[in-house]
Amino acid sequence: MVQRLHLVFGGELVNPSSNQFIDVSKIDIVGIYPNYAAAFTAWKAAAQRTVDDAHTRYFIAHLHRLRDEEREASPTEELG
């Protein structure tokens, strides 16, 4: 069975309409989850904790999209 890992993270943005963090060293890493449903649940809980702060936003990153299992070497492996 293929794992489709997802990363949930967030933090304070420069502007609520952008995706630029004020301080990347203060990004809140909520966790890595084995599927989208679990990631969505974690994202929703984190987002609801900060609902009163318009500058704080959480995201779900699809980690499984960073790696192409069909290729001999994925682009991320070639960087290292």
Structural domains in the chain, sorted by start? 6-79 (3.30.70.2400)
Structure tokens at 37: 């449903």
Lowest mean pLDDT among 20-24, 52-56, 73-77: 73-77
Residue 78 has pLDDT above 60, yes or no: no
Q: Assign 72 a pLDDT band (cuts: 50, 70, 90).
A: low
Return the exposure string of 35-70: e unless at least 16 CB atoms fall within 10 Å of the residue's CB, then b. Answer: eeeebeebbeebbeebeeeeebbbebeeeeeeeeee
Q: To the nearest whole number, what is the mean pLDDT of the chain?
A: 86
Under the phi-then-psi rule, with left for phi > 0, alpha for psi from -120 to 50, and beta for the rest, what region is 69? Answer: alpha
Residue 66: the pLDDT is 77
Question: Distance (Å, rounded) from C-alpha 26 to C-alpha 40?
Answer: 21
Closest CA to 46 of 61, 57, 35: 57
Most confident of 2-11, 43-52, 70-79: 43-52
